Each structure stands twice: as structure tokens, then as C-alpha cells.
Chains A and B, each alone.
Chain A
Amino acid sequence: MSPDFASLVHWILFLPLGAAVFSALFLRRAGGFAAWFSTATAFTIAGLSLKLLLQSSGDVTWHVELAKLGEISLGFGYLIDANARLMLFVVSFVAAWIHLFSVGYMHEDAARGRFFAGLSIFMFSILGIVVADNLLMTFIFWELVGFSSYMLIAHYFDKDFAAAASKKAFITNRIGDLGFILGIALCLHLYGTLDFVALKAAAGPVVPVAVGALLMCGFLGKSAQFPLHVWLTDAMAGPTPVSALIHAATMVAAGVYFMARVSFLLAPEVLQWMAISGAGMAALAGLCALAQTDIKKSLAYSTLAHLGIMGCALGLGHPELAVLHMAMHAFFKATLFLGAGSVIHGCHHEQDMLKMGGLLKKMPLTAATFIAATLSNCAVPFFAGWYSKDAILEAAWHGHHVAVFAFLALAALATCLYSGRMIRLVFLGEANSEAAEHAHESPWTMTLPISVLGLVFAVGAGFAAHYLIPASSLQVVHESLADMHFSLTAPSTIVGLLALALGLGGALKFYGAARGADALQAVSPRTYALLEHRWMDGLYRWWIDGPQRRLAEFIAFLDLLLINGVAVRWIAGGATAALGHLTGRTFHDGKTRGYAFWIVVGSLLLAWYLLAR
């Protein structure tokens, strides 16, 4: 492979690591400098990724072997295909703007050095997953993502809820990763290699269900799919730019991207599960977003819905559509989160939507970008989100998955409903609290990123896709789109437009009346409570506190009885106690000389035994 390509990827991958190490070692006290240093690095990486995107086409690889254990070769390398190029660009580009936003948002934070070092190490981890050419390397960077997200979610570690949320995210991810590492071991056992290209050649058309199912476990954790989705909404405890980074471009996207990369290892049964559970979760999470008053939590449920849609696209056998939706979602969801951050910043750290309102006049730029991104989120035709979301709906229809299609249609309706509610509560009407009345527009470091991401990309990424992304990257998408006869009278378009009209219109009307309270809660408190989605946490609490705790206690009891009791107390403890009783003195007197004496006695006895044998 050309050395030029490899060195370009080296720079992209190791620049953030260098920045993170430098910030962590030298810039902990110099927060202001660390912020700009980290941001400059992020923009450099974005530029390099754009260069890589435009420069070359076709799949390129680069590999060095690090260790050879018998037949198994473990190495470090890059596999850059169309998906990887697109993902590299999206991740680094969105992350760069999030960095710039953070400069403004974290302006008053005392621990900025640590925060920006954390952002950089996060970048390093996620870029590692994108370029990795084998399962082991993916897994190592996968865990690094887990670690760095833990660190970032727990940025306000002196607050109990932040510490608990980061712990929850970390542990939930570990549960998924257990399956992931077992899947890697199974791949090694069956095919003798971990390299993606070699795996593809070795796998053949029929793959055991267990391989895909185990690898999917990692995806369930990282991409917050049912039933491991519970960590994502709590991860809102981190600073808002972190939420944008985790939900938009990076952490949750890693799972989708990885599944697309190993899609040849997924058996039909696994795909079917992903399609059904993804679509189901999309509908459920979309409805749950209606019952959240915290603006960030509502957005988090919206992310869950979109992740469900991506998982569904993977399950329908269209990984390229999943990656495309991930890219589009990255643009508009990053804008939404950053916009929410700007709103929160403007309203003096008020996150309750019921206490906002009327911000359209006070924060016009933020409002404009937020609304643009929301429309993209609702899949208004020719906005970025429409291209990918409608394509996935169409794929479901085309594949004759009626249940999946129905769930997705419900998800589309729910999306429009919660989007309309959000706009109505936050930007329209009158200010509902002191904080919202005195809201002010944010500084340019915050409005510039949301303008670029929101007004340009969330709206235009679909149009620009043909120019922005080289044909080679989009070719696979075009093929599957052409396959489905995309047109205005297609069922997906009709359903999408219906959902849009009903959802947005209905939400604006329904939530127009009540002030300072949620309209749905007023009409039907029971539905609202159900949609608050506390029962999943309750289920986990019951399971962990009940059956699992009892099992753990039983094992602890065995440990106490057999190891502590029989082995240590009776045999080891009993022998010295008996000896002490016979000689009339206690062995455990705390004096060094006594212990030394017994060591000598023991050694002599051992030597005597060994020599006399």
C-alpha cells in the first residue's frame, strides 16, 4: 500500500492521542490553552479526514504483525473502505465543531484541562474503531471508548447522579462486551483469524448463529439497543457537549459501524432479531420522548429511537443505509444537543422544558438552527434525515416485513410528535420562568458550530451528499436505493408525509394550550407515567436486587464456608492453634523475630522432608 495513505491515517489516529497525553501532562492548570489546543487538533483531524475522503477510492489496507501465537497472528492495521471514509469524516467533522462549542460552553469550568484531554482521548478511541482491520484491535479501542465515556460522563464527579450514571454506563457496556469477547474467541476458534478481510473469505455463505449473536452483544451495549439501552438516557448527567459527542457522532455510532463491518458474520436469525427489536425500540423510545420534561433526556430518547432505526436497517440487510442514517443523524442530532446546550446556557442552566418558552425571540440563531435540525429529525422531504430514514422505511416495505414497517411508521409519527412538542414548549409561547425571561443568546464559539452543523449540514447534507461524499462511498447506497424504486408514490413517502403532517400539526395544537404543565399528563396521567419509562430500570432493580443478589449471596456463602471456613480456619488455623496450645505460647505476637523463627523452622522441616524422601 502506498506509504502516503498509511502516514495520513497515522496522523489522523495518533494526533488526538498526542493531544490527550500533552493536555493531561502539561495543561491541567492551563484550561484556556488546553481548550484551544484540543480544538485546533480536532479541526486538523477533520481536515485530514476530508483529504482522505476526497483523495483515494477503493479499499486500502495497511498492517503490521505485533505478535504471533502459534498459528494465530495478532496485529495492528487499517482497513479503509467506503464506510470507513464516510465515518472518519463524519466523526472528526462533527467532533471538531463540538470541540469549538465546548470552548464556549465550558468557559467557567475549573477542570477544563481534564475535560479537553478526555475529549481528545475519546476521539482517539473512536477513530481507532473506525480504522481497525481486525477484531482484537476493534475490541481494544472499543474498551477505550468505554473508559473515556466513563471519564466524560463523570465530569461532575462530585455530584452523586453523575457518578452513578457513569457507573451505570460502564457496567451496562461491560455486560455487552462479555458477549463480544466470547464472539471474538469463537471466531478465532472457527476460522483461525481475526482479520476482517480474511474472515470474510473464511466465513462462507453459512455462518453459525452463535457467532453473530455473540458479536451482536457488543453492539447491544455500545449502541444502546434493547435490552441494554438503559444507560443512554442517564448518560445525560455529563456536560452537554459530551452528550452531543456520545449520542451524535461517536460512542453509539461505533456499534452500528462495527455491525456494518462484520455484517457478513450475521446469520439470518440474528438479523431478524435486530430488525424486530430495533423497530420496536424505535417506536417505544419515540413515544417515551413525549413524557420527558428534561430537554436533554427527551433528546436522549430521540437518539434511542434513531439507534433503533439503524439497528433495524442492519437487520433488514442494508448496512450501508444504517451507516448513511448514522451520518445524517450525526449532523442533526449533534445540532440538537448543542442547541439544547445553548438553550441551557442561555437560561442559566435550566433544563426543564416546562420552564422555558418564548425563546424564539430571545435566542433567534439558536432557535433557527434547532428548528432546522428538528425538521431534519422529522424527515421533512429533502432535509438530510429524510434521505436515510425514508430509505430505511422503504427497505422494510420492500422486504415485506409488515411488522417492522408498522413499528417504523409508528416511530416516524412519534418522532414528529415529540419534535413538535419540543419546539412548542421551548421556543414558542411565553416564557414560563424567571430564567427563560432573562435568556440571552450564546457567544459565537457556541452559535457558529450550531449554525454550521444545523443550517448547512442538517438541512443540506442530503443534497450535498453527491458532491460532498465521493461516488465510491455512496455507490453502495445508490445501488440499494435504485433497487427499491424510490419515488413520490412509494408507501414510505406517503407514510412519512402523513406522519409529518399529523405529528407536527397535532403536537403544536395539543401542547399549545397548557402552560407550565404537560398536556398529556393533564389528560391521561397513567399513560404519561407509563411513558416516563421508569419500569425498565425497575425491572433491572428487581432482577439484580432479587434473583441475582440471592445467587451472589449463595456463592459468597459457599466461599465463606469452604474456603474461609474449612480451608483457612480449620486446616491452616486449626494446626497452628493446636501447636500453640501444646507449646503453651501464642504464635501471633506481632514480633518480627518470632515470625522469622517460625519461617526458619518451616524451611528446615520442608528441607528435611524433601531430602529424606
Chain B
Amino acid sequence: MEHTTLAHHLLLAGLLFALGLTGVLVRRNLLVVYMCLELMLTAATLALVAFSRFNRTMDGAIFVFFIITVAAAEVAVGLALIVALYRRRGSVKSDELTTLRD
């Protein structure tokens, strides 16, 4: 089997990112949209780790730790927002939340 290179990692990261983006664009349930967003974020961190590994520096890897920490906090806020939204509006379908148009 061929040795894995940076390009392989980046391709995988790009695929993950595209998958997440597609989810964000086509799904209607906010919870799923949110999961897809997290997938996009993970793709970005994967690219960072890959760069870090192949450039033999620790910068990217350390950066990822920060991203994971911040992402954890962000998930807490985001999920709380979705729960609050559901309690208030009784729905988490993104197509039904169009108040901002007016």
C-alpha cells in the first residue's frame, strides 16, 4: 500500500468539510444542522493537525487544543439556544423560523 501523504489528509478533511456543508444546506432540523456545523469545524482541525504533523511543528497541534476547548463551550451555548428556541416556538425546523424576514 502506498505511503500516506499530506494530500491524503487534506483530501479527507475537504471531504468531511463538504459533507458538513451539504448537511447545513439541505437539512431542516436545527439539531442536525448544528451537528453538521461541528463536522465542518472538525474538518478544519483535521487539516491543522495534518499540517502540523507534516511540517514537524507543534503550532497547529496546540492550536487544535484551543479550538476543541472553545468548541466545547460553543456547543454548550448552541444546544442551550436550541432548547430555549424549542421551548419558546415549539419547533426547531429552520424553515419555520423566518421572523427576521420582516
Contacts and interface: CB of A to CB of B under 8 A. Distances in A.
20 contacts: A588-B101, A589-B101, A590-B97, A590-B98, A590-B100, A590-B101, A590-B102, A591-B94, A591-B95, A592-B33, A592-B94, A592-B97, A593-B25, A593-B26, A593-B28, A593-B94, A593-B95, A596-B24, A597-B25, A600-B21
Interface in A580-598: 588-593, 596-597
Interface residues of B, number: 14
B99 interface: yes
Contacts of A592: 33, 94, 97
Contacts of A593: 24-26, 28, 94-95
Given A589-B98, A589-B101, A593-B94, 5 more contacts: A590-B99, A592-B94, A593-B28, A600-B21, A600-B25
Interface in B85-102: 94-95, 97-102
A512 to B, nearest CB: 72
Contacts of B97: 590, 592
Contacts of B28: 593
Contacts of B98: 589-591
Contacts of A589: 98, 101
Nearest to B99: A590
Interface string B30-60: 0001000000000000000000000000000
Contacts of B33: 592
Contacts of A590: 97-102
A592 B28 CA distance: 9
Contacts of B101: 588-590
Contacts of A597: 25
B20 to A, nearest CB: 11
B43 to A, nearest CB: 14
Nearest to A595: B100
Interface of B: 21, 24-26, 28, 33, 94-95, 97-102
A564 B99 CA distance: 24
Nearest to A592: B94
Interface string A593-607: 100110010000000
A607 to B, nearest CB: 13
Contacts of A600: 21, 25
A597 B28 CA distance: 13
A289 to B, nearest CB: 58
A589 B95 CA distance: 10
Nearest to A588: B101
A600 B23 CA distance: 13
Contacts of A591: 94-95, 98
Nearest to B96: A591
A489 B101 CA distance: 85
A588 B102 CA distance: 9
Most buried by B among A589, A590, A600: A590
Contacts of A596: 24-25
A592 B24 CA distance: 9
Nearest to B24: A596
Nearest to B27: A593
B100 to A, nearest CB: 5
A590 B21 CA distance: 19
Nearest to B37: A596
A589 B28 CA distance: 15
A597 B21 CA distance: 9
Nearest to A597: B25
A589 to B, nearest CB: 6
B33 to A, nearest CB: 8
A595 B21 CA distance: 13
Interface in A548-604: 588-593, 596-597, 600
Interface string A387-425: 000000000000000000000000000000000000000
Contacts of B102: 590
Contacts of B26: 593
A592 B33 CA distance: 10
Nearest to B98: A590
A596 B34 CA distance: 13
A214 B63 CA distance: 51
Interface in A508-564: none
Contacts of B24: 593, 596
A591 B28 CA distance: 10
A476 B99 CA distance: 72
A233 to B, nearest CB: 48
A561 to B, nearest CB: 27
A589 B21 CA distance: 20
A600 B26 CA distance: 13
A592 B81 CA distance: 15
